[in-house]
Every structure is written in C-alpha cells, then in structure tokens.
Structure 1
Amino acid sequence: MGRRNKRGRAVHGILLLDKPGGMSSNRALQRVKRLFDASRAGHTGSLDPLATGLLPICLGEATKVSAFLLEADKRYRFTARFGETTDSGDADGELLATSPVEAVDSDRIETALEGLRGEILQLPPMHSALKHAGRPLYEYARRGIDIERSPRATVIHRLDLLAFDGRDAQFEVHCAKGTYVRTLAEDLGAALGCGAHVTALRRTGAGPFADDALITLEELESEAAGEPGGAQQLDRHLLPIDSALQAWPRVDLGPDLAGFIRQGQAVQVPRAPTAGLVRLYGRDDGFLGMGRIASDGRVAPKRLMNL
C-alpha cells in the first residue's frame, strides 16, 4: 500500500456548510478538511457551538478570500428567552437570575428594538473569542476572571420581531461584522427590565451567500463513503472562488496586461473603475485574483490566485 500524502489534495473552492449545533467552527472545519483531503482550509468567521447554519469554508486558494468574507455583513435568525439571564448570554451558560415577564408584550419589544437598530455600541461578552493578552476572553471567563472591556461600535441594518409567545421571541437580524447576537438579546432584555438570553441561533447569510443551498457534514460523510472517488466526488459541492466577490467590479485583462499583473505590476486599463477593490480576469486564464485601483488610476494586484 502506498504512503498517503500527508499534505493533502490541491483542491480549491468554497463549501457552504450547515454547521451542526454543539460543535465548534474549528472542529467542523477540520472534519471538512479531512473529508476533502484538502491541503489547506479555513472558515470565514466562527459560529458559537450553540449556533447552526451557514459556515462558508474555503479550501486551497479560496483561503485568500476568507479575510474579505470576514469583513462582510451577516444575517441571523435567533430566539431569545425573556426572564432569564445566563453567564454566557446563551443557553449553554449557567443560569444567573430569573425575572417575571408578565409585563412584556410585542409592543414593548418593538419599542425596545428601536434603540438597538442603526449604529450602536456593544460590550463584547466574556464568553467570546476576543483576545486579551494573547488569550481568548472565554478562557478567563471559565476561570471566573472578569476582564475590563471597552464597548465596540457596530451597525444593525435590520432587526425584526417575527413571533412572541409571552416568553420566547424570534428575531431576524442583518448586521455588520463583529456583532454579538447574544449581546443584542441581553441588551434587549435589560431594556425591558427582565433580562434575556439566546436559546437558538442560526446564521442565514454571510456576504453574498445565503442558507438556501447548504450541505451537512452527514451528507458529505455519506457521499465520501458511498461513492467511487471518495474525496474527489465531493468537489462538485464547491463554489468557484470568485463567488465570494460577486459584488466587486470586474476587470478583464488581455494576455499582456494579465502577464504584467501576475508579475506584480500595476497596469492601465481603459474604462476601469476609479477606486476600490476589483475582481481580475484574464482572457485565457479566468479568475486571476483580487486587485485594487491605485491612486494614479492604474489597476494593481492585491491578492492573486495560484491555480
């Protein structure tokens, strides 16, 4: 039997994984990487273990676009339980206090939501991956240590109440990167005077991607085990690398200009955008990578693919 290549396959693309509840994003990433036998893999923003839903996983050269997806807006659907607060802000934490909720109704919730829309400040939770002195805050929280934190600005583009049964309420939120949904629920509970925590959380969108065509780990494992070709059979589930950048202007380059770009040189392109980031394509080579418009109007390479 031949020795297995420890470095894995050179496979490139983006997988839209439906992350299961109870699993960390990194564990889900490692399982996908093993299933595809990929040499490189990375995700585009952690989901809490409690959370489910859209986790874009970038394989191979697609890891070069992961940073841009990290900066993208996110969309979630979540359930908040009023009258109970936990030390983590979600159902995985220890119950800290209970309060009556009889005075809470849909009208009061709608009024409180007004203060949580638009540009707001959030205090990062102790149970988060935000680092202090090189260590994530959740490590301090597990040891009972509270670290002083400063509020951070974020933007809530949309926050809608979907349903309320007198105790649990369902919401949809469209927010800027770095928003803590658990903190949204806690702040809403504080505004209503009864406390709240998240009992269910699902990411439904990240940048250009939505949760209407996700695949589960179980489906991937079943396909890898049941079909000839193993890992290679899974490649059909991968989206093209440039699918993450569809909102960016496209710049097409002839062979000569594409060659200069590949050498790291900026080029003059007729009718190119006047500013910002762009997608670069070669007439014969397809997607080349990400570019930027330099101050003199030329198109310069920013991050190129090596396919």
Structure 2
Amino acid sequence: MFFHKKRDVNGFLLLDKPKGISSNSALQEVKNIFNAKKAGYIGTLDPLATGMLPICFGESTKFSNYLNQSDKKYNVIAKFGESTSTGDSYGTILKKRPILFNFFELSSALKKLTGSINQIPSMYSAIKYRGIPLYKYARRGIKIERSIRHVFIYKIDLLKQGKDWIELNVYCSKGTYIRTFIEDLGEQLLCGAHVISLRRLKISLLPYSKLKSISFLKNLLNKKKIEKRDIFTKLDNLLMPIDTPICHFPKIYISMKQSSFFKLGQKINFISNIENSLVRVFEEYNNNFIGLGKIFTGELLIPYRLVSILTN
C-alpha cells in the first residue's frame, strides 16, 4: 500500500530493529509505513545488532539529542579465539589464537573492564570524520586516527559460558562501543574475541514492553477492508508522546496566562523547589506539552525548546 502525500506525524516509537539491516534502512521502512514527512532515529545500531531503536516523528525530533546522552543496557554473545576486521561476525577473520584462560582470569578481566574505561572506537563505527562515517573509510581501506573515548561500565552480568563463547548483559554509559568492549576483553584474555550477537535492551527509562517490530507494523498497514484513514489511526495510536525522549526530566504545569508568554519565548516567574534543571512544561488547563524549559533559581522559568503548533 503506497500513498503519495506525506503526513505530519508527531510522536515517538520504540522499534525492535531486526538483524541484517542498517539503522537508517529500518528508519526509512518505518517512515514509509507511517507515510510520515519527518522522522529520525536515536543511537545507531549496527546491521548485526537488534533491539531498541527509538524513532522520533515530527516535533519529537527536537528532543532526540537528550535521549542520546542516556545510559544503555545490552545483551551480547561473543566468540573467543578469533579477531575480525569489524569486531563482529560480519568481518574477515584476522587472527586465531588458542583459548587458555580459566574462570578466575575471566572474572578478573571483566572486573578490569568495569567502571571508568578508555576506548578507541572501531573504524567500522558510525562516528563521522569530516562529515563521513568511519565505516565508509574502512570499506575503502583508509584508516583514520581516532581519539580515545572515556566511558563508564556500570555493571556486567555473566549469563552463560561455553567452550569458546560467552553471554553477557552490559550496563553502560552513552558512547560505549560493545564491539570494542568485547575486543578489549579478548585482548585481556590473550585470545581475541568478536561479537556474534548483540541486542540493545534498554535506553534510559524507556519501556522494553513497548517495542514494535517492522513486521508487526507492516501487517497492520496491509490489513484488507480497512480505510486508509483508519489504518493511520491505528498506527498513530501506537505512538508514545512527543516528550518521551525527555521523560527523565521533571514535569511542571503553568497557567494559560503564563503559557501565552512562554510560547512567545519569554521568561516567566515560576516558584518551584527545582533549581538549575531542564523541565518539561505543560499547560495545566489542557495538559498539552508545549516545550522544554529551564529553571535556574527556583523562581524563573526560561524557554529552552518549544513545540510548534501541531497540524495533524
């Protein structure tokens, strides 16, 4: 089913990205299903990876950057004894080494990789150099010098272990590269390692139960004997609120009079016990979200990012 005229869609969707496609390809499929004018994703997942890929539609894209700064949780299965060109099973095997470590040495290596650690991102990452993702340079055989990144590993749960593989849950800060983490673990154990399965389970406080697959969305779109208008209503009902990417910020309500000034970008007097924090601002008389503000002293609310008038 294809519709030529694109729609103004505003909201937030948690996509369960399938294996084997890029994050951008997944985004374009979802954007076409919703027939949306504007949409973007937060936090690139490699083609190998599955799981939580947040999709922002319309006005929600204004707040995507704040979610990108959040902590994350991954499930990863790694294979020991082989290092690959990409750090995962999609790459070429560069080196094979015997697996000689014991459980004590594994536990020690995991402990060393917990807390504040330094990482050098893979050349097959989506980090951009002069506007071009590193993986595009890598595919041409060009190596770019990368800066060290400081990240934090909060917790590592060892779930299962086989003769040459391991399954972990990793709780980490923004900017953590799990492929690099596994490569570093392999080097700690002197045998090399690469990722064979990766799934993002959590970003910030977003609910895993809200994940929707592309196949689920397509089945809804392709249902027979349903009017186009009704199909889009069903799809739009799946969307979470515009302010979902900033759901971790406090929520405040302002009066109609205060709202009229706030929406014009003017500072307003607002007594609160909140200080020096971004806040989600709602109109108390209709519960509409109107934008992101900042309270500096507990007495002054300053507009930070406003929602435009919706034209759905």
TM-score (norm: length of structure 1) = 0.94
Question: Distance between the aligned counterparts of 1:211 and 1:107, measured in 2?
Answer: 33
1:132 is matched with 129
Question: Distance between the aligned counterparts of 2:274 and 2:296, measured in 1?
Answer: 10
Q: 1:115 to 1:297 in 2, by over 3 A?
A: farther
Question: Distance between the aligned counterparts of 1:140 and 1:122, measured in 2?
Answer: 19
Contact residue 271 and residue 299 of structure 2 kept, 8 A: no
- Higher mean alpha-carbon deviation, 45-54 vs 293-302, is at 293-302
1:132 is displaced (CA, Å) by 1.8
2:245 is matched with 244
1:230 is displaced (CA, Å) by 2.7
1:104 is matched with 101
For the residue of structure 1 that corresponds to 2:52, the secondary structure is strand
Question: After superposition, what is the alpha-carbon deviation per residue over 1:117-141, rounded to whole angstroms, capped at 9, x for unaligned?
Answer: 1111100111111122322111121
Q: Give yes or no for the alignment of 1:119 onto 2:116.
A: yes
1:299 is matched with 301
Contact residue 60 and residue 245 of structure 2 kept, 8 A: no
Contact residue 48 and residue 198 of structure 2 kept, 8 A: yes
Contact residue 105 and residue 166 of structure 1 kept, 8 A: no
1:296 is displaced (CA, Å) by 8.1
Query: How do residues 153-192 of structure 1 correspond to structure 2 at under 5 angstroms?
Result: 153-192=150-189
Where do 4+ consecutive residues of structure 1 move more than 3 Å?
294-297
CA-atom RMSD, angstroms?
A: 1.5
1:245 is displaced (CA, Å) by 2.5
1:288 is displaced (CA, Å) by 1.1
1:263 is matched with 264
Contact residue 52 and residue 202 of structure 2 kept, 8 A: yes
1:193 is matched with 190
1:16 is matched with 14
Contact residue 272 and residue 298 of structure 2 kept, 8 A: no
For the residue of structure 2 that corresponds to 1:161, the secondary structure is strand
1:148 is matched with 145
1:272 is displaced (CA, Å) by 4.6
1:247 is displaced (CA, Å) by 2.1
Unaligned runs of 5+ in 2: none
Question: Distance between the aligned counterparts of 1:32 and 1:152, measured in 2?
Answer: 32
1:106 is displaced (CA, Å) by 3.0
Q: 1:153 to 1:237 in 2, by over 3 A?
A: same
Question: Distance between the aligned counterparts of 1:96 and 1:191, measured in 2?
Answer: 17
Question: Distance between the aligned counterparts of 1:135 and 1:60, measured in 2?
Answer: 25
Identity of aligned residues (%): 42
Q: Give yes or no for the alignment of 1:51 onto 2:49.
A: yes
Aligned partner letter, 2:183: E
- Higher mean alpha-carbon deviation, 221-230 vs 239-248, is at 239-248
Question: Distance between the aligned counterparts of 2:168 and 2:254, measured in 1?
Answer: 45
2:291 is matched with 289
For the residue of structure 2 that corresponds to 1:128, the secondary structure is coil
Question: After superposition, what is the alpha-carbon deviation per residue over 1:14-64, rounded to whole angstroms, capped at 9, x for unaligned?
Answer: 111110000100111111111111111011111001000011101111111
Q: Residue 81 of structure 1 is aligned with which of 75, 79, 82?
A: 79
Aligned partner letter, 1:154: V
Instruction: Report how many aligned residue pairs link the two structures.
Output: 302
Unaligned runs of 5+ in 1: none
Contact residue 83 and residue 95 of structure 2 kept, 8 A: yes
2:213 is matched with 216
Aligned partner letter, 1:249: P
Question: Distance between the aligned counterparts of 1:56 and 1:204, measured in 2?
Answer: 12
Question: Distance between the aligned counterparts of 2:25 and 2:12, measured in 1?
Answer: 17
Question: Distance between the aligned counterparts of 2:295 and 2:210, measured in 1?
Answer: 34
1:305 is displaced (CA, Å) by 1.3
Aligned partner letter, 2:301: V
Question: Distance between the aligned counterparts of 2:220 and 2:147, measured in 1?
Answer: 47
Question: Distance between the aligned counterparts of 2:245 and 2:61, measured in 1?
Answer: 11
Question: Distance between the aligned counterparts of 2:231 and 2:238, measured in 1?
Answer: 13
1:284 is displaced (CA, Å) by 2.6
TM-score (norm: length of structure 2) = 0.93
Contact residue 41 and residue 55 of structure 2 kept, 8 A: yes
Aligned partner letter, 1:212: S
1:232 is matched with 233
- Higher mean alpha-carbon deviation, 13-22 vs 203-212, is at 203-212
